[in-house]
Amino acid sequence: MIIESAEVVVTSPDRNFVTLRVTTDDGLVGLGDATLNGREQSVVAYLAEHVAPLLVGRDAHRIEDTWQFLYRGAYWRRGPVTMAAISAVDVALWDLKAQAAGMPLYQLLGGASRSGLLAYGHASGPDLPSLFDSIRRLLAEGYRAIRVQTSVPGLDRIYGIGGPVAYEPAGRVAAPVEEDWDSRSYLRHLPGVFEAVRAEFGPELPLLHDVHHRLTPIEAARLGRALEPYDLFWLEDCTPAEDQEALRLVRQHTTTPLAIGEVFNSVYDYRQLIADRLIDYVRSAVTHTGGITHLKRILEYAGQYGIKSGIHGPTDISPVGMAAALHLGLAVHNFGIQEYMKHGARTDLVFEQSFSFTDGLMHPGSSPGLGVRLSLDEAGKYPYQTAYLPINRLKDGTLHDW
């Protein structure tokens, strides 16, 4: 199974996606998701200029060797652009190997460890009535776990609050939108929101919350403690993630479970967090953490410490990346939960998918490989559009973590 070509396909049906498409002399096509939200073209150049020419002529079966070749061979190890590019190659090769074997990919990863993957959806609203409506809409769609985000009185625009249906992290804008932040207002407001949600929806429903890295360690510790009565499934990204030591302080003060890692790209980002049991869930994306090969390694390491998966799955993970997450999640022993924001209708026409969402559980399906096909005709209708994630400023204009 020799690689004949590796091409990068950029398309923007409902948002931007970068897909690596690897073809072999057997006539098979393997796909990898290389989307890096708001910095897409950097990965396009990395793949097209530096990686694709090296893949042609290689044996597509040699997944581990290719991973090491791209990681060690680059000399400049790690980093989001490099690791997104390696992820795309790795996932495309796993897709090819599983297609060649005539099996869904999870069979090659050890087979199914469960019958379905618990997924959580995103509810948000500017006030309690609209937040409740958003939660009810997700429950009606079948979701059995829900992330709760809400506006904060006094702040005009904050991240992660959608319209009536969903929110899209990056806007199709020429420059980042500037949003507002004030930690004291947020800390005062949020516990009451969870109290109201619990009163309305009862004690059983798993509830999650994402802080988006916006608090100092002592503020995060206080929030974790204040939310304990509402029994969160997890509190996500409570402090800026690059500071592993910060989680130790948070951990000393609260029993609210902690999740972190959507901006990580290597096991080295997790070493202290896992070995010192400072977190409960690994939030990495397959697409940003070196693909299935490397995220499986991280999850096996985490599993030795009772830490579970919570693989990243917002809309900037393409259906290709989502399928990879589902195959890996079905196979690993220490699965926790899967994030799932549905894509738009145009995206579903560009990417034909075999994965399913039924009664709140996801399954990657039984098609050989990843189970996703890319329509080049559909993809070609939607050229790249400039898009950026927003930034966040305090009331005095200081740039803050978002």
Counting residues that bind ligand EZ4 (by CB under 6 A) gives: 9
**Helix, strand, coil distribution of the chain in percent, nearest 5:** 40, 20, 40
Whose CA is closest to 329, among 32, 66, 141, 119? 119
What is the C-alpha to C-alpha distance for residues 110 and 11, in angstroms, rounded to an integer?
33
Catalytic residue among 122, 209, 212, 363: 212
In our burial notation (b when 16+ CB lie closer than 10 A, e otherwise), range 201-218 reads beeebbbbbbbbbbbbbe
Catalytic residue among 159, 230, 270, 340: 159
Taking the complex as a whole, the smallest distance from the CB of residue 149 to ligand EZ4 amounts, in Å, to 9
Q: Interface residues for Co ion in 229-288 (CB under 5 A)?
A: 262
- Residue 380 token pair: 């070609």
From residue 145 to residue 184, what is the string marking binding to ligand EZ4 with x (rule CB under 6 A)?
------------------------x---------------
In this chain, which of 40, 182, 210, 316 binds Co ion, going by CB under 5 A? 210
User: Which C-beta is closer to ligand EZ4: that of 147 or that of 296?
Assistant: 147
What is the C-alpha to C-alpha distance for residues 162 and 174, in angstroms, rounded to an integer?
20
Q: Interface residues for ligand EZ4 in 201-230 (CB under 6 A)?
A: 210, 212
Other CB atoms within 10 A of residue 249 CB:
16
Does residue 40 bind ligand EZ4 (CB under 6 A)?
no
What is the C-alpha to C-alpha distance for residues 257 and 183, in angstroms, rounded to an integer?
21
User: Which C-beta is closer to ligand EZ4: that of 32 or that of 314?
Assistant: 314
Does residue 344 bind ligand EZ4 (CB under 6 A)?
no
DSSP annotation of 39: -
What is the C-alpha to C-alpha distance for residues 201 and 128, in angstroms, rounded to an integer?
12
Question: 50 catalytic, yes or no?
Answer: no
Question: 212 catalytic, yes or no?
Answer: yes
Site residues, Co ion (CB under 5 A): 210, 262
What residue ranges bind ligand EZ4 (CB under 6 A)? Answer: 37, 169, 210, 212, 262, 314, 316, 339, 389
Catalytic residue IDs? 159, 212
